[in-house]
Amino acid sequence: MHDNHLKLMQLAINEAIKAGQNDEVPVGAALVAESGKILSLAHNSTINLSDPTAHAEILALRMAAKKLLNYRLLNTTLYVTVEPCIMCMGAIIHARVSRIVFGTNDPRWGAAGSIYNFTNDPRLNHQPEVIGGICEHECRRLIQNFFRSKRNSTMI
């Protein structure tokens, strides 16, 4: 199972790389059905779409829901390079995604345990399983390098 997580996280990492190449925060996501079928791939596009909700997770959920003609994405796993934020976690829970597999935690916005933990709140009607730390170093390096280059370019 762990090898499968690595392989599927690589799809999300490839999406994150695309985001970075588009000058977006490099976060990528892949939504996968229980059968292993890839339902959607997405990356952050907030700047290019002028849409503050265009996070990788939200875009992946939207694409899959359209494909399946159902907003409930039961028996799916969302692979995402960075721990989901509050907004994304709300959408993930609302869509009934079964499992979230993320790469690196987000100490500023994380909603799967770093800052907030919406994944095991008994007041919510759905609690997805969470697995963190898959390809953690590679995912963290993408984010760190992106923001380091932004800081360096503003200092010049």
- Catalytic center residues: 57
DSSP-derived 3-state class of residue 25:
coil
Pairing mode, strands 129-131 and 28-33: unpaired
- How far CA 76 is from CA of 32, 62, 68, 91, 143, in Å, comes to 6, 14, 12, 14, 26
* Widest Cα–Cα separation across the chain: 50
- What is the CA angle 50-51-55, rounded to 5? 125
At 7, which amino acid appears? K
Nearest 5°: phi and psi at 11? -60, -45
DSSP-derived 3-state class of residue 123:
coil
